[in-house]
Amino acid sequence: MRTCGATPGGPSLDGIDLATQTVIQGVILKEGVDDSVPNGAPVTNGHVRLLDASGEFTAEVPTNQSGQFRFFASPGVWTLVVQAPGARVEHKVSAQRGVPTDLVIHI
């Protein structure tokens, strides 16, 4: 189903000190079309792991009830690995302090 209206991406940034934190966040969607307008159903039983530039595990979180996740990283290049029943997707991102990296990832 194509949905429009809700702000795409990760959880609300209210209360996060973006001046000091390097945020990588987003939403995982399934059964949608990968285009400019986020659409599909949130993946609520996914796990997102964050690997550093050398491929080392740094952190992992489960997606929330809205399919969202968030990391507090440091500036640089990171790889996200999304795992859900029957699916695995990798996504490379570049993070910087002050400007949150907000993603919509389809599996």
Partner 1 sequence: MSRETSLVTADWVAENLKNPDVAIIEVDEDTTLYGQGHIENAITFHWREDLQDGLIRDLISKEKFEALLSKNGIANDTTVVLYGGNNNWFATYAFWYFKIYGHQDVRLLDGGRKRWELDARPFVTEVPVRTATRYVAKERDNSIRAFRDEVVAAIGTKNIVDVRSPAEFSGELAAPAHLPQEGGQIKGHIPTAKNIPWSKAANEDGTFKSDAELNEIYTGAGVDLAKDTIAYCRIGERSAFSWFVLHELLGVNNVKNYDGSWTEYGSLVGVPVAVGA
**Which of 73, 75, 78 is CA-nearest to residue 92?**
78
Does the protein bind partner 1 through residue 49 (CB under 8 A)? yes
The 8-class DSSP code of residue 48 comes to E
Q: How far is the CB of 54 from partner 1 (least distance, A)?
A: 7
Distance of closest approach, residue 50 Cβ to partner 1, in angstroms? 5
- Tell me how long the chain is: 107
71 binds partner 1 (CB under 8 A): yes
Q: For partner 1, give the closer residue by CB, 39 or 83.
A: 83
60 binds partner 1 (CB under 8 A): yes
